[in-house]
Amino acid sequence: MVLHEFISFEVLRVIWWALVGVLLIGFALTDGFDMGTGALLPFVARTDTERRVVINTVGPVWEGNQVWFILGGGAIFAAWPPLYAVSFSGFYLAMFAVLAALILRPVGFKYRSKRESQSWRNGWDWALFIGGAVPALLFGVAVGNVLLGVPFHLTDDLMPMYDGSFYGKFLGLLRPFALLAGVVSLSMLLMHGAAWLTLKTEGWVQIRARSIGTVAGVVAAAGYALAGLWLAVGVDGFAIAGEIVTDGPSNPLHSEVTHGGTWLAAYAARPWIAVAPLMGFAGIAMAVRGLREGHEVSTLLWSKLGITGIIASVGLTMFPFILPSTVDPDSSLTVWDASSSHLTLFVMLVATAIFMPLILAYTAWVYRVLWGKVTEDDVTGAGHSY
């Protein structure tokens, strides 16, 4: 028996569906508080010193946190090539807006303190706000559009074709439900950033972060509940109508897909997946309570649990779909027909088993070294601070 055949094609597909989810959740848990902190910067810090404190809470870690985003994109490219092709071309303008916003973050960190001018520094503070708020919003909009379905189809030779105008590739994404998902994403990461600042700062910055984070958490929970209700009564789901072949060739056109009903039918078929939204609501509720009562470590951990539950609920609700098509449901991409080959998935899994523990160990070591609060004395007395 060939080595890679010790793990079946079906199991490898599920493993890589789960691993991509883990990478995206890892990105939200780590770089999410960076984005939330950036979006909070103009509001939680009033003086220049306070703003430098806020910036220095994430300055040493944001680059490492962003690695999760790169890993997630790379995993999608290697494990799910059709998904990469359709999503990165169909969401091209949105992706460009996200990348442009993210580019402002390193530039803002490096250039903000190069001049003493208050207007210069204020300008870069708002650039850091954009670098945090815009990606947080648009990532949620993208998830909302995935749930709604995307207007693409596959040709007979499996070339993806995105229907719609050039400008429609951005404006067409701004549908009401998708915007609600964006609000949930933004408010969720604002709460996460506030939890981080509660842990890493003190004084008025911490007090303001707790206040804003509490409101953001309530908005996130309310928006998440409204999105669930909307999915139940106002959004058509997708389902595989014919026989499901879990270990066949990667050809989405071999499946028969229907568009109708509700996504929430998945909870009747697999009741255990209800644990994800329960985690989402419980995590947010406890994070809000922690922010109100002044808890620090536990608040950040509860915030992470809430984010994990919310993101996991999307993937578990849609399974086995990963990108449904509204114009040609049979072109919809699923776990069973949009992956790379059996051998490719196996080789990637071996590489992941070797390098992922190293990444996790290094990340844990970095956070251990950087443990503790950032104070005003730290940023005014250290020449290496931002």
The DSSP call for residue 239 is E
- Beta-bridge partners for 162: 152
Average pLDDT across each block of 10 residues of the chain; the chain has 386 residues. List them in order: 75 95 93 94 93 91 86 90 85 86 90 88 93 95 93 85 67 87 97 96 95 97 96 91 84 86 92 96 97 94 97 96 92 92 93 91 89 84 68
Instruction: Judge residue 349's burial from the number of C-beta atoms within 10 Å of its C-beta, 0-12 exposed, 13-18 middle, 19 or more buried.
Output: middle
- CA-nearest of 173, 212, 170 to 192 is 212
Give per-residue pLDDT as tens, 49-65: 999 999 999 988 888 88
DSSP SS3 for 321: strand
pLDDT of residue 248: 84
pTM of the predicted structure, to 2 decimals? 0.93
Q: What is the DSSP pairing of strand 321-323 with strand 257-259?
A: unpaired
The DSSP call for residue 325 is B
- CA-nearest of 350, 349, 340 to 79 is 340
pLDDT of residue 384: 65
How many other CB atoms are there within 10 angstroms of residue 241's CB atom?
A: 12
Q: CB of 31 within 8 A of CB of 61?
A: no
Q: CB of 193 within 8 A of CB of 40?
A: yes
pLDDT of residue 116: 86
**Buried-exposed string 178-209: b where 16+ CB fall within 10 A, e elsewhere:** bebbbbbbbbbbbbbbbbbbbbbbeeebbebb
